[in-house]
Amino acid sequence: MLTRIDHVGIACRDLDATVAFYRKTFGFEVFHEEVNEDQGIREAMLRINGTDDGGASYLQLMEPTRPDCVVARFLERHGEGVHHIAFGSADVADALAGAVAAGVTPVIDGLRTGSMGSLVTFLHPKDCHGVLTELVQARAVDRPDETTPEAPIGSDA
């Protein structure tokens, strides 16, 4: 069961300049920044709004940290722009199983760690009408028994 748009992933060449654009133009602030060495990106999550299920929606701005990563190759082919859309779920393994049962091919085997300690997987764009689709299980919201080093998403803390 997918309950929200968790984030829209946007490939950019200069993360700081792109963050500055979104702040100046729309007033969005950085909620979280991290480097994901596995994916070869430096990223900023800009929180747009909370949602009824206690989750939230973000823009994920991604700048490549090395030329051979997925986002660097995307920038070479397409330039800056929307790279993927991510849907939130309380059970990403179940959501993945449902998508596979519907005939969609995963891009990776199983689940990996995404932004802010989330669990994520990706579905192949060729099976999703051209859209690279990510499924996300947020850490603090959907697994509240686990501690998190940062402010829990959607909490009042």
Residue 9 is a binding residue for Co ion (CB under 5 A): yes
Residue 123 is a binding residue for Co ion (CB under 5 A): no
* Half-sphere exposure of residue 139: CA atoms within 13 angstroms, side-chain side: 15
Structure tokens at 33: 């920044």
| Residues contacting 30, CB < 8 A, separation 6+ | 19, 23, 44, 45, 46
Minimum distance from CB of 43 to Co ion (Å)? 8
Identify which range of 39-47, 65-73, 79-87, 104-112 contacts Co ion by CB under 5 A.
79-87
Minimum distance from CB of 156 to Co ion (Å)? 26
Q: Which residue is nearest to Co ion (CB)?
A: 9
Radius of gyration of the chain from Cα atoms? 15
Q: Which is nearer to Co ion, 60 or 89 (CB)?
A: 60
Minimum distance from CB of 100 to Co ion (Å)? 19
Q: Which is nearer to Co ion, 54 or 87 (CB)?
A: 87
Identify which range of 4-12, 22-30, 74-82, 121-129 contacts Co ion by CB under 5 A.
4-12
Question: 27 to 66, contacts with Co ion by CB under 5 A?
Answer: 60
Please, is 130 exposed, middle or buried when counting C-beta atoms within 10 Å of its C-beta (0-12, 13-18, 19+)?
A: exposed
Q: What is the DSSP string of 70-115?
A: HHHHHHHHH-SEEEEEEEEES-HHHHHHHHHHTTPPBSSSS-EE-G
Q: Which is nearer to Co ion, 66 or 145 (CB)?
A: 66
Q: How far apart are CA 88 and CA 31, in angstroms?
A: 17
Residue 86 is a binding residue for Co ion (CB under 5 A): yes
User: Footprint of Co ion on this chain (CB under 5 A)?
Assistant: 9, 60, 86, 134
